[in-house]
Structure formats: structure tokens, C-alpha cells
Structure 1
């Protein structure tokens, strides 16, 4: 069941109970399956979704429990220029392929999250094609934020005349929806319910920050009336995270602040930045549980972002031991590298095709995989970490110690980027749960750990 009333002033938005145990493995399907970069007209259906089924056991071995899919609906190119929200992209398969993937996941206890692009559509979407073909009198003209001029009136319009319109962040092929239009509310709610009826567990709402919170509130109210246990998470890069949750009726939003602070503080050897972000994160946890991550399909991979590859362990420790619903971007668990560039095709490096099975991956990445298994396993054994509050215990430029606690449970984390050994205060800390350190005066207020150069440790509280 869901927790406190969503949107109530001061209430904690707990979300569905099952999310407490969720760890997502995030996949960008078009890239993962090696689909063509552009959907050709009248191209036959390519049954590629089965490729993902072959990786479900890998997901479980990693320690994840959910499959967070990038776009799977019919689109023109990268999946975020949707042309039909009710149709599986022919480059990935058809309804039968989708149902088979969901069934295979469900048989393993794996929940599936879909990526909903509801801020904009591709120019090939039927609702926008009607506008281009029928002009101002098109029944779906009110769906879009059109900018009419003298040529865009019933009397003046001639076939072939296009309206000016708002788009998404300057991308002309992404036509912005008008979220004040009741028909758009109806459409989005119906799409979300349709796929929840088909067996998915929730939605990632793309570019949620660009959509009015009032729109999300209307949609989520309808969706929850039909599917009260659905997990609804919005992509919010900047803005008031808490307001998007409480006013928009969401369960969570993406925690980009913490993502940035993790790699930036490690690269700059400035743990004060991460300490500040953890205090901010603690404030969000007063209201909701953020969706936490180290990588996704839109950003440079964490292994490439970090100046020192050894600090990948430190980043993963933060993900595993702080409050949140954690996600691992496919490939990060094997130390994949990839740099996102601001150009056409600039996402390709972070959205590569994967082999037919995990057995074909290079063994070079196995140490990183085993580290993920260790730390995600720790996370799964301490499910209370989902809502854990974090207190910074000791901090300098080159070392940090914090405690995460909830439900009478506690773990203590210490990490260092220093070139030599350091001693860090860890009051109350006890046995080593992961990592390495020498612990003095365990279980006392004066407990301290000695970390080796660049070391880290997770301790029982």
C-alpha cells in the first residue's frame, strides 16, 4: 500500500511498500539491443526484446530486483520522439515480445518500470500529423502549444502550411504538448493505465521538470485510482524536488544533486561538497525517498567521469549506504566507459549494444561486478537504508565519515582520497561490514578508524 497522503503539507510520501526493497537495473533498450538509429518506413518488426530476457538472471546476480527500461514505444529515432504511445517500437518487437519480457521478469520476481515521454511527441505522432494535414480545424490542434499567425486561421490556411510551435529545449522535432488541455490529461492518464494493466510496476516520467506540477497531479490521481501500488518517479534535474513530489502526486524524483556531488567531490578531493549534498539529501528524506544513481543513459558513465578509477568504489559505497531507491545503469556494474558529448550522435558511447549474454562480457570488468554484488548485497540485507537519514560525523577535504540510521539500525561509512593513511572519527562504530580499516575503541564514542591511502570502509553502527 502507499504511505502518507500524497501532497499533504508536511506529510512523508512513502510510496508503495515494495519499493523499500527495490534496486533498479536501468537499460536503454534501443541501444542495448543494437537497434537501428532511425525507424525506416514500413520496416518489418525486429523481435529484439528477447535479448533483454537473456539478461534477467544477470540482473538478479547483480543484486537488483527491478528492470527500469528506457523508451520502448514507437518513435522516429532515439525513443524520446514518440509517435505512438500504445505501440511497441518495431525495432524492438511487438506486443507479444513485450508481454513475454514482462512475464519472464515477473516469473523471477523482477518488476518492470517504463519510461513515459509526456512533455512532447515526435512530429510523426498521429495527433501532430492531424494538425499538419488538417490545419487549425484539426481536432488535436489544442494538444499543442501552437503560435498562430495570419496564415494559421481557418480562412487563410492552405495545405502544406505549418504552424509555429513550442518545442523541447530547441529540438524542433520534439513538439511540446499543451498540458493545460484536458484531452492531453486524458491521453497521458490512459497511456499510463494501459501499460500498468499490461503488468508493469510503474513509470519514469521523462522531463518531468518541464511539465506543470498541476498536470502531474491530475494524471497521477487518475492513475492511482486504478493502480494504487504503482511507482511514479519523475525526471527532475533542477528545481524544487520536494514540490514536484508533493504537489505533483509523485512518489519520487531523480537525485541529480547527489549524483553530481559524488563524482565532483571525488575528482576535486573536496569532501565538503559531498557533506553538503548529504545534508541536502537528508532534508529531502523528510518528505520522500529520492531515486538515486551514479549513471544513466543521459550522462557520461561514472567510470569515465571519475579522474581516479579507484574512486569508483567510493561512489558505489555512497549509493549503497544512503537513503534512496538506488539504480545501476547497465554496464556500470562492469566498469563500462563512455563519454556523452553535446553533438549529433553524442549519446552513442553511453548507449552501446550489449552481447547476447553476460557470458560474452570481458572478464576485465569482473572485479567491479563483484564489488557491486558485495555492496548491493549489503544494501538488500539492510532494507531500512531505503529511508535512512544521514549524519556527517567527520569531514575534511580528503576524508569523510557519515552515519546512516533508521528504525533503530545504523551503519557508519568512512572514506579517504588522501595519498597516505588517515585516522577518522567514527563514534559508536563497530564491526567491519565491507571494505578494510583498522578500528580502535569500537562501539564507543571515541571510536576511530585508520584508513589506508584511498581506503574506505562500512561499519556496523
Structure 2
């Protein structure tokens, strides 16, 4: 979610936040009234499911269509440009689709706090003292019922322009995901486009008390908010004069900050641009709602939905349920839930079962970083998918950097065996460093073996971050935050991606030969995962068996994927300098299970490399493997 300041850990949570993480109970819900329109549902129903795995393309919407390459630190829209909804045209969507993508996560769509004057459209100005960057953090949402006016050609018609993008995306056979940020909202929340009868967050709060169950916020009673003391020479807008940049922000009483800080003056490293939502967790960490019985981990979504009928739940729960319904009605196919572990599991049971009543195929992805909570949020909270960040991503990152052994991959996959289909894999997203950045690996090609393993080792979805497929290095100093991550706070261009964008042609006309080859690698691999049903089948590691095989090193990794029809052997070489040659051994029991006949079996490399031969001899089965540095093969036989 990266609403953090410079190098601060996002895992430094308050005591209350930590208390919230262990919640695994239930809540209640009145019968919903919103209905999903037939028009919104029609495109979704017309989309066939891929034979293979789901592929998500994360697009940072503000940056995607921007052709401006000025890239001035702290630059304005006029200086640095901004991508619009309308820039994501048929050519752009066709280019995304050809990567094997099934879902597009439009990141940063909701109207969040930003520094630009839209008062002519009735939008209040935001204060630079409580906004990170000039373009603002997409995770400081100001209006849940509207979209970012920066992204519209005509800000007065911003919702219509986003609706047109939803429809356009569906016409290309792609589904739409947007963010919901349940843990916090912008310090200055003000919804102009909310439906009749909907109240803003906090509108009916009793601010005379720190906590009340149906308050939307927590309060520091009797103390006004104070802007944090800046660190590292930071100045809002890089020091540019602004009428509201005076070190003051009117909020009395102060509200608790998004990461759980209870101070009227939060620390500069806190998420001070946001305020924490109250879900009925008391300041002492106890719960003000019905708990979810433990046996509901084994119950269906429908049973979870039934549990909440007729029960009283905190007001914030209802607000977010209605927000989700609103976007479902507009044709959104799913949600990525920011920092889900900071919100009680009971709320997720309530919300996700409600969403699934409206759209049983809704794609629900959550950001959860504590492995001890994974199963609670999947089984009790009814998430479809969680980030596999702390286990698979972190392990692959160390291997790409030359700091880790491939032994760790087998350990991670074994530990996730019962939930592997729910653990979304990625190598980049808006929070993480770009692989090509010097701070990460310094070379986009070092992602190739990791991407093969990440994409094909599990039956779970794979996510690709825009620009990753052409080796974007994230090297720009855009203003707020440090290079190595593409800025999510400021107006910028994305150089490698702009080479594919090619001034709006989306034809890769400015890509170098190496970038073209990299994009082709991603295109082949992701289409393979999306089209071959075998990658939804069974997994068996070959790593331990082959550790003593001559030529197989701690920079090698091999495994098989198989189903009743197909058998695939995947091999990868993480060594950036040396080729690998070895006779890969397969276990006798697996060969017996596959009922392979004695003799030679042709093995075709689905990645386009040289084919090989699998030899089945009495008591021994081996596959000849030859891989160049950073090479992989996917042998099907």
C-alpha cells in the first residue's frame, strides 16, 4: 500500500493494530438492498474462464498512458503530464491482453487526496501538509464514490469516463479490479458523489469520546491534530510555496492515524495523511461485535452470509459493504484490499460473503503479510487470494540478488501446500523495488528464472506490474520517496514503459532489441500459464532428489506439474554467469504413477528452446537438461 514515508517499515503497527490482527470472529449484517444491474453483469458472464491460470496485470493508472518524458522532481501535471482513462484505449488493452492477462487491476482509480485545484468542480482543495507527494497517495482515499479527477479529460465527467473504461476493458475479454482501502481514509474525507442517503465517514460520530462502536473514527479527545515534525529535510511540494502549506491542518479533536498511532501529533514516519477506521475494536483490543465460531473456517460463503443476517454490526462495516456494492453495480469484477490484516477477520467474513452474493465470481485479493494469519483470512475471512510476499517473493528476491539458495523455494512451497492455490505470486508491484534497479538486482534478465518458477510452481494466479515486462528500472527521483520504486506519489513518466507506449501507439516502436526480447519472454510464459490446464494440476519438487546430481547446483531448481492428461518438467538456472548441464533424475514412483513405458520420450520445450529426451530405463528415469545463464525450460511430454 506504500503510504509510508521514506525508508519506514510498513510493519511497525500499533498495539491496537496488532490486537486487530488476531481477531477471528464474526459480525452482523442487515439484509442488503443494492442490486447489481444486468448491464454490469452481462460482460462478466460473457467472459470464458482461461484453461490455465489467472494472470493479473497491475496498472498504475495515473502513469500508464503518460507520454510526457520531462520528469521534473515534484513536477506538476503541466510539467510532467498524467495518464488519463481515455489513454487506455483499444490498442492498449489489446497489448495487455496479448500477455495472457485475464484481469486488470486499475491501481489509484478512487478519488484520493492530491494537490491540484479542482474547486471549479466543487472539489475542496487538499492541504500539502497532510498529502504525500504532489499527486498524492492512492491509499489516502478522499471520496469512495468517485474517481481521481486527474484521470479524466473532463473532470466533471470523471465517473462516466471510468465507466467507459470498464466497458472497454470488458469488450476485450478482460475483468476489472480496483482497490478498496478499508483500514483508513484520507485525513480530509469528503464525498461529493455519494448516493442519496449515504453519510460521509465520521458525519455522525460522537467526538466527545475516544471510542464508540458506531463511530467511524477514533478520537484523541481534547487535543487538536498537529502536523508531524518533518525529517530528512522534507518539505511539502519540495519547498514550493502553496497557500495551505503552513505546517497547520485543522482537525479538532485529532483522530487516530491510519497505522494506529494515538498521538495528536503523529510521527513523521506514521501514515499521518490518513485516519484509522473504527471496526468495533475497542482501544483495549477487545471486540464490540459477535465473534465468528472457529468451525466457520470450514463453512461455505453462503453459510457465512447467512450467519450475519439480522445481526447488528458496526456502522463502518455497512459503509464499506455499500461501497463495494456501488462498484459492483458499475461492472467492477473484483477488489484488491489494502492492508487487510489491520481489519478484523469478522468484517471480511461479512463483506466478502456479501460481495459473493452479488457476484459469485468476484476476484478478492488481500494484502496480508503475517504468515500466521494467512489461513484465518482465507478460511474465516473468505478471501480468494493473498499476496505471497513474505514467503515466495522474499525468497526469490534473495536468490535473484545472489544472497539465497534455491533450497528455500522447496521449503516455501511445502509450507504452503494446503493453501498454495490461494497465494498470488508476483515479482514486482507498486510497493516493491523494480528488479532492474541497482538496489534490487540491477538487471531485468535476472527475473527470468524467478518468473518461470513464480508463475508455474503453483496453481495460484500470477501478477505482472506494468513496465516489468520491458525492464523498467524505477530510477527516477520524482519527488516524495526514493528511487528504485516507480513513484506512486507524484506525476511522472515511466521510461521503459513509454518505449512500448510509443506516444500512444502501444506498439513497442521505441523498445530496444533487449526490451523486445524481454517482453516476448513474458508474453510466452504468461500465455503458457494461462492456456495450459496442467498448471492447475499437481506439483512435485525434484530439487532434493537432484542435489547430488552432477551439474545441478544451489542455483538450479526443478519441479514437475502434472494432471491426468499432461506431464511437464520445469527447470531453471538462476546463475547469471554459468550454463548448466545435467541429467535430471525423476523418482521411480512418479514414473510409475504416470505409467511411462520403457524407452525414450520426446520432451518439447514450451518456452521455445531446444527439445530434449526423457529416458525411462530399468530403475532409472532421467531428462537431459542444458540451460544457458538465467535460462529455463518447460518440457512437456
| TM category, shorter | 0.7 to 0.9
Q: 1:308 to 1:337 in 2, by over 3 A?
A: closer
Instruction: Say yes or no: does 1:49 pair with 2:118.
Output: no
Q: Partners in 1 of 2:251 and 2:453 — Cα distance? A: 55
Cα distance in 1 between the residues matched to 2:333 and 2:173: 11
The residue aligned with 2:385 is: 252
Structure 2 match to 1:31: 63
5 Å-filtered alignment, 1:371-386, equals: 371-386=521-536
- Does residue 636 of structure 2 align to residue 434 of structure 1? no
Q: Give the corresponding residue for 2:517.
A: 367
Q: How does 1:51-200 map to 2 (within 5 A)?
A: 51-53=87-89, 54-76=91-113, 77-93=136-152, 94-126=158-190, 127=200, 130=203, 135-136=207-208, 142-149=215-222, 161-168=252-259, 170-180=270-280, 182-200=314-332
Q: Which position in structure 2 is the counterpart of 1:156?
A: none
CA contact (8 A) 1:27 1:330 kept: yes
Query: What per-residue deviation string (whole Å, max 9, x for no partner) do you get for residues 104-144 of structure 1?
Result: 11111111111111110001113467489x94399998101
Distance (whole Å) between structure 1 residues aligned to residue 616 and residue 509 of structure 2? 43
TM-score, normalised relative to structure 2: 0.61
Higher relative contact order (CA 8 A, sep 6+): 2
For 1:289 and 1:160, locate their aligned partners in 2 and report how far apart those are by CA, in whole Å: 41
Select the residue among 215, 237, 242 that pairs with 2:347.
215
Structure 1: stretches of 5+ with no match in the other structure: 1-6, 8-15, 41-45, 153-158
Higher mean alpha-carbon deviation, 55-64 vs 444-453, is at: 444-453
User: For the Cα contact (< 8 Å) 2:627–2:633, is it kept in 1?
Assistant: no
Give the equivalent residue in structure 2 for 1:446: 621
Alignment match, 2:265: none
Deviation sequence 1:185-220 (CA, Å, 0-9, x none): 001111111111111111110111221111111111
8 Å CA contact 1:72, 1:79 repeated in 2: yes
Which residue, out of 316, 330, 333, partners 2:466? 330
- The correspondence for 2:584, drawn from 409, 412, 425, is 425
Query: What RMSD, in angstroms, separates the aligned Cα atoms of the two structures?
Result: 3.5
Q: CA deviation at 1:339?
A: 5.6
Give the number of equivalent residue pairs. 433
Relative to its length, the structure with more strand (as a share) is: 1
Of the two, which has the highest radius of gyration?
2
Pair 1:322–1:341, CA change in 2 (3 A): farther
Is the CA contact 1:401–1:426 (under 8 Å) kept in the aligned structure 2? no
Q: C-alpha offsets along residues 407-445 of structure 1, whole Å, 9 cap, x if unaligned?
A: 553321112234243314242583322254674543564
Q: 1:289 aligns with which of 415, 422, 441?
A: 422
Structure 1 moving runs of 4+ over 6 Å? 35-38, 137-141, 340-343
**Counterpart Cα distance in 1 of 2:411 and 2:478:** 29
* Distance in 2, Cα, partners of 1:114 & 1:74: 12
